[in-house]
Structures are given as C-alpha cells and as structure tokens.
C-alpha cells in the first residue's frame, strides 16, 4: 500500500489478514476495532490495493452497501484463483442472499463445487428462502446421504423436517425430526432438547394433544437446564388453557357434528340462530416454480382491484404480480422500485399504492393503473401492525392512506397521497411490555361498501367501526361461542401464538368487505370465517369442507369481488381459491 503493508494468506478455508506499519492500513484496522466502519472503508479505499479487497468487500456488506460489495468481490473473483476465488464467490452469493436476490445467489453457487457439504448447505438454504421447499429437501438430503460424517449432516436432517413442516406435511416432519435424533446420538443436549420440543409442537399442530404433551414433558424432565425446557413448560400451560379446556373440546366436537349435519342434509344448518354454511373451494391458480410469473417467494398479501383483477404481493421477489380473475398473468409491477413490499391498495383514480418496508423505514410507493412509477413518501418512524406477521394499509374514497401504527400513540395514522400526515385516531391499550403493546393493538381492517372503516383486534374479540370523520361508530365484543370462554379468565389473554416473551391468542387473521355493507373475517387457527352484517352482528359462519385437502385449508389472506365471491390465498402452497360464501357452492 501507500503507507504500511497488508498480507493476505490462506489458512484452511479462511483468509487471514496480517497488518504491518502505521499508515492507512493501520488506521483502517484501528477504526475497524473501534467499530467505525465508515472510517475504515474510507482508509482502505485510499489504498487502491487489491490486497485489501477482501476486507473492503466485507466492510461494504457490514454497512449495507451491497452494490459496492458486489463490485469489489466481483473484481476479486475475476482476478483470483483457487481458494481466494471460491471465497469471493461465496461472499458474492451471501450478498445476493442479503439483498433477497435468491435466483442470482443460486447461479453463483452453481459456479462452485456443488459436492461440498458447505456449498450444498448454502444452496439448500437458498432454496428454502425462495420457498422452493422440495428443492431444499433434495439438496439437504444430498448432505445426509453423501456426507454422513460431516458436521453439517445433523443440521441438514433437521432442516428437512423444517421444510416438511412448511409444506404442512406434519407426519413427515415428525418422522424426519425423529430420524435426526436416532441417527445422530452425538448431538449435544441443547440440540436434542430443541428437536424434541419441535416434535411436541408438531403433535399439537396435528391436534394430537396428549402426544404433544408427552413429548414436551420429556423435554422438561430430560433437559431441565435448557431454554427449551422453559419453552416446553409454556407450551404445556397454553395447551391446558386452549386445547384441553373442556369448553374447547366440546366446541370442537360441536363443529365436527355441525359439518357432518351440513354434509348429510346438503343445505345450511341453523344453530343458535346463526346460519352455518359449508364452503367448497374452487382453484383458480397457484404457485409454479418453473413459471417466473408464478414463482412466488414469501408472498405477504393478496388484494383485488375494482375490476376484480388479482394482485399478489410477492415480497421475496420484491414485486407486485397482477392476474385477471381467471388467473391469467397480466403484469409485473415495481421490481426495480421496491425493497420489501408488504401490502397493496388502490385509490379512487385506480392508482396502485404499495406499502414497502425500506431499509430506513416504511414508505408508500405509488404507481399508476398501468404500473408506471409516480411517486413515493415516507411514513413517520415506528413499526406498523396489521394481520399476524404482516403490516397492512387501506385507502378510503378520498384517497387517504390508513395504517395501523400504535407506536404513534393511536390505533391508526392517516396520510394524504402527498405523504402529509392528516390525522391519528383510535384508542390503544397501553402496555410497558413492547411485545404486549404491539400484539394487543394490532388490528385487521378494511373499508366496507358504505365507506366505514371496520377494524377487528387481532388478539382481542373486539369489533370497531369508524366513520369518514374518524369518529367511533360502535365498539362491541364479538359474541361467538368458540372465543367467549377465553374472556372469562379475568381479562387475561392466553394462547399458543404471539411474540417472543409474550404469548397471546390470535383470533382474526384477515378481513374483506361484502357487497351488503358487511365484512367477512378469517379466524385463526380454524378453517372458519365469520360473516358480519352491516350492523356488526354475526350473520353466518362459513366452514371449509373437511373432506378437502387439509393443507389447502390454511388460508392466510382473503379478498372479495364485486359479485360477492370470496377469495382465499393459502399459506403453504400459495394457491388462490374462490368460494361462494353466500350459497356455499
């Protein structure tokens, strides 16, 4: 270098950097030890020496300058050979993964030795993040079968089980997880406890509660000093509160009896004055990994525009994909303007608004009806809430944007299309615990056909309606037998889902308007929907046919068209089904 010397040596599979001198290199390393990464970068850039490229590339990664990292690492790969070149390729792939460019990461891994267990693991993880779980399983299986002595083999076996869980093949997930325990007796105590706890929770997901409880008790007794023992204790307490509660067991039996009665008589059944209708799904289209338009990766939302076109928020691919009502691909929107799209909505002029989680916070990115970029604006700092796991937004007939932003002190924040904050409204439940504060103030919400804002609390059976002047029209407790009992515990919220450190019941997952002024709401975890009338009263229960593939009953997003049909987007297979919730056919 100009001042000082840097020496890069290969040691095993790692690069070792030796520094000599007190010039720019010394100053860079001194800044690095002080975690002043920007200063370290500026000093290394002054050197203009390829010997510092590895360190410079890693620093660019550290501060999120991914384009610069790719430039430096690319030059290292092009001019290097052997282990240095391989290391550079691995880092390039890592940058693409951090950017969400999973296909590009896969291409880079293809240039490496795909028989190496380390590369196979990275490739399997890439397929996993892409949502291509079958390819991930195939890749992890190569490690298990071809490199059984590798330290990565037990990890690969466990990840196979995780993939089957994501595919909703719970029996196979249990089988593969048990194989990890049986085939690798040398696993450390913490890992064995983790897998045992995982199996117990899988049994609970299958509603085999006694088997699940037995596994969890084994974790508590056999691995008492691990963190998984504490998790198992919490799971058992929640199991008692939710699944083994006599009222819940009775309710489950009533639901199964109700479904049987509907199927036997072939028509809706009245119970407790409420009509119960069986839903029969009709497939429109679904994810296809060999079709670039339908190769969805971690999709977060589905919406219909006023013309009943279907929009998929394909978060992993940083795009919005538009289809017609029959599933024909029409358009891809925003792939070069979006970082992490979370939701989509439409204003009265037909413009498309995308809620995007950028690197510096949430923003609204606006496109015209043809997908051309128009504008964007930032929301006030602070997390957004909505349905479980994903923030949401809605737009009224004036073009105002509504987001669930309790961190600002109110349930909703309202912005103009220019990005000016217009109003905040809606009382919140104030908790010191941040997890409690977020969970108990999360709502699913939409505008009905009359222009009222309807909001149901995700973790409390509370239904609120607001007018266009942000005034509360009503607040009522949802009266439904399967959740009434949960409120009997002196206001204490208990359950099996929720944020780390705070567990809560999640009642409602999504909401959509009906053409009679009411709303349809998706419940969790049951395959049940509620249809509320224009006055907020429960009008009808909608139950997905139990003879249908159980994996296709995990609906995460719903929408309605102008004819009154209901659309459901599945959580695991990423397929869209249409239901006639008014007739059940």
User: Buried b vs exposed e over 169-185: b needs ≥16 C-beta within 10 Å?
Assistant: bbebbbebbebbbeebe
Q: Give the CA diameter of the chain.
A: 88
pLDDT > 80? residue 482: no
The arithmetic mean of pLDDT across residues 356-364, rounded, is 82
pLDDT > 50? residue 487: no
Q: pLDDT grade, residue 24 (50/70/90)?
A: low
In CATH, what is the architecture of 20-198? Alpha Horseshoe (1.25)
**Does pTM surpass 0.95?**
no
The dihedrals phi and psi of 416, each to the nearest 5 degrees, come to -80, 170
Residue 49 Cα to chain centre, angstroms: 43
pLDDT > 90? residue 447: yes
Instruction: State the angle between helix axes of 117-130 and 102-110 in degrees (0 to 180), rounded to the nearest 10.
Output: 160
Give dist(CA 530, CA 523) in Å, integer: 8
pLDDT at 553: 75
Q: Which of 201-215, 272-286, 365-379, 525-539 has the highest mean pLDDT?
A: 365-379
Beta strand residue intervals within 398-549, DSSP E = 401-404, 412-415, 421-425, 443-447, 453-457, 462-466, 472-477, 508-513, 519-523, 528-532, 538-544
Q: pLDDT grade, residue 316 (50/70/90)?
A: confident
The arithmetic mean of pLDDT across residues 533-543, rounded, is 87
- 406-429 confidence digits (pLDDT tens): 877 788 999 999 999 999 999 887
Query: Which of 450, 448, 449, 480 has the alpha carbon at shortest distance from 462?
Result: 480
In CATH, what is the architecture of 291-427? 6 Propeller (2.120)
Percent of the residues in the chain that have a pLDDT greater than 90, as a whole number: 34
63 or 498, which is more confident? 63
Residue 7 is inside which H or E element, if any?
strand 5-11
What is the residue extent of each domain of the chain?
20-198, 291-427
Residues 6+ apart with CB under 8 A from 25: 1, 3, 4, 5, 6, 19, 43, 44, 47, 52
* Bridge partners for 522 per DSSP: 510, 529
pLDDT at 485: 34
How would DSSP label each residue in 161-176? HHHHHHTT-HHHHHHH
pLDDT > 70? residue 1: no
pLDDT > 50? residue 22: no
């Amino acid at each position: 270098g100009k001042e000082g010397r840097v020496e890069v040596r290969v040691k095993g599979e790692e690069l070792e950097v030796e520094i000599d001198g007190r010039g720019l290199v010394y100053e860079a390393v001194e800044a690095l030890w002080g975690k002043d990464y920007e200063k370290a970068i500026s000093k290394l850039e002054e050197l203009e020496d390829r010997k510092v490229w590895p360190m410079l590339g890693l620093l660019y990664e550290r501060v999120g300058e991914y384009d610069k990292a790719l430039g430096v690492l690319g030059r290292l790969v092009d001019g290097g050979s052997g282990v240095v070149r391989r290391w550079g390729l691995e880092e390039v792939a890592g940058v693409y993964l951090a950017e969400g460019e999973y296909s590009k990461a896969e291409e880079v891994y293809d240039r490496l030795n795909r028989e190496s267990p380390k590369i196979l693991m990275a490739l399997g993880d890439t397929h996993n993040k892409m949502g291509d779980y079958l390819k991930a399983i195939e890749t992890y299986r190569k490690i298990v079968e071809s490199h059984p002595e590798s330290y990565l083999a037990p990890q690969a076996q466990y990840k196979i089980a995780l993939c089957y869980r994501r595919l909703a093949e719970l029996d196979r997930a249990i089988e593969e997880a048990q194989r990890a325990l049986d085939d690798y007796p040398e696993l450390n105590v913490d890992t064995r406890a983790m897998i045992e706890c995982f199996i117990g929770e899988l049994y609970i997901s299958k509603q085999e509660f006694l088997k699940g409880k037995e596994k969890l008790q084994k974790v508590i007794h056999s691995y008492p000093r691990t963190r998984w023992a504490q998790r198992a204790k919490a799971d058992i307490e929640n199991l008692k509160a939710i699944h083994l509660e006599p009222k819940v067991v009775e309710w489950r039996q009533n639901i199964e009896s109700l479904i049987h009665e509907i199927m036997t008589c072939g028509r809706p059944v009245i119970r407790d004055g409420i009509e119960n209708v069986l839903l029969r799904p009709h497939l429109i289209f679904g994810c296809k990994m060999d079709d670039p338009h339908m190769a969805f990766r971690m999709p977060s939302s589905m919406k219909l525009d006023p013309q009943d076109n279907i929009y998929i928020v394909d978060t992993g691919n940083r795009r919005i994909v538009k289809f017609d009502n029959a599933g024909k691909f029409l358009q891809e929107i925003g792939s070069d303007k979006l970082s992490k799209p979370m939701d989509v909505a439409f204003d009265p002029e037909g413009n498309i608004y995308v809620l995007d989680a950028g690197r510096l916070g949430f923003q609204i990115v606006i496109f015209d009806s043809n997908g051309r970029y128009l504008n964007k604006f930032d929301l006030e700092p602070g997390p957004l809430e909505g349905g479980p796991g994903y923030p949401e937004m809605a737009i009224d007939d004036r073009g105002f944007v509504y987001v669930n932003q309790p961190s600002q002190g109110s349930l909703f924040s309202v912005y103009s299309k220019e990005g000016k904050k217009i109003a905040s409204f809606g009382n919140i439940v104030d908790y010191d615990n941040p997890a409690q504060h977020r969970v108990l103030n999360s709502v699913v919400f939409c505008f009905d056909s009359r222009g009222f804002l309807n909001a149901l609390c995700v973790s409390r059976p509370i239904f609120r309606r607001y007018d266009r002047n942000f005034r509360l029209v009503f607040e009522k407790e949802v009266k439904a037998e399967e959740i009434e009992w949960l409120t009997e515990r002196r206001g204490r919220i208990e359950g099996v889902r929720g944020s780390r450190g705070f567990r809560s019941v999640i009642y409602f997952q999504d909401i959509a308007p009906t053409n009679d002024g009411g709303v349809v709401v998706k419940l969790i975890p049951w395959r049940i929907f509620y249809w509320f009338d224009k006055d907020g009263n429960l009008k009808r229960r909608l139950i997905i046919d139990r003879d249908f593939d159980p994996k296709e009953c995990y609906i995460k997003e719903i929408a309605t068209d102008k004819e009154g049909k209901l659309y459901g987007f599945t959580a695991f297979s990423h397929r869209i089904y249409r239901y006639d919730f008014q007739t059940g056919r």
